[in-house]
């Protein structure tokens, strides 16, 4: 069992974060320039999310298994979670198939500089949206009644 116990909980966290990233101009502008459509297939718990940058604004669509994606990325929810903290050794994760990517990989790698600001945003987003228990950069203090 990973850090997230249910699909619903992971969906709330990751979809909300993707929407935040998609609405942050410094990142979104570069994502939209790429015209990339990426499908993330997560395991443990299972979830599919499409991030569609092909239009005028970034769209985040959970459970979208129909759209033809340019890039397909598969990983566990824990790896995804740690990635957005900047804590995943990307080279190792790809070599060891902890992350599997299909599609024009060089184009995906070119997005790494664009999403760099999101590593600092993720823990702040978790804290600000009631997901503080998932913020692994600090000791968690449960909210008092």
**Which residues would be at the binding site for other proteins (CB under 8 A)?**
86, 89-96, 101, 105-106, 109-110, 112-113, 116, 119
Residue (5 or 109) nearer to other proteins, CB: 109
Least distance between other proteins and beta carbon 5 (Å):
23
Least distance between other proteins and beta carbon 82 (Å):
12
Least distance between other proteins and beta carbon 103 (Å):
10
Beta bridge pairs of residue 37: 52
Residue (28 or 93) nearer to other proteins, CB: 93
Cα distances (angstroms) measured from residue 46 to each of 1, 6, 19, 144: 12, 8, 19, 31
d(CA 10, CA 26) in angstroms, rounded, equals 25
d(CA 57, CA 28) in angstroms, rounded, equals 8
CB atoms within 10 A of CB 106: 7
Least distance between other proteins and beta carbon 53 (Å):
16
Residue (49 or 88) nearer to other proteins, CB: 88
Query: What tokens appear for 94 in the block?
Result: 């790809």
CB atoms within 10 A of CB 5: 10
Residue (104 or 130) nearer to other proteins, CB: 104
Least distance between other proteins and beta carbon 119 (Å):
7
Beta-carbon contacts of residue 93 (< 8 Å; ≥ 6 apart): 75, 79, 83, 99
Residue (5 or 119) nearer to other proteins, CB: 119
């Amino acid at each position: 069992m990973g850090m997230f116990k249910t699909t619903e909980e992971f969906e709330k966290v990751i979809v909300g974060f993707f929407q935040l990233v998609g609405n942050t101009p410094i990142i979104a502008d570069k994502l939209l320039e790429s015209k990339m459509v990426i499908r993330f297939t997560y395991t443990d718990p299972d979830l599919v999310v499409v991030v569609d940058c092909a239009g005028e604004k970034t769209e985040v669509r959970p459970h979208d298994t129909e759209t033809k994606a340019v890039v397909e990325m598969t990983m566990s929810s824990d790896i995804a979670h740690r990635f957005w903290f900047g804590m995943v050794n990307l080279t190792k994760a790809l070599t060891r198939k902890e992350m599997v990517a299909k599609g024009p990989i060089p184009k995906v790698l070119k997005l790494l500089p664009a999403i760099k600001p999101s590593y600092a945003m993720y823990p702040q987003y978790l804290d600000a949206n009631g997901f503080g228990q998932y913020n692994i950069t600090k000791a968690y203090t449960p909210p008092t009644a």
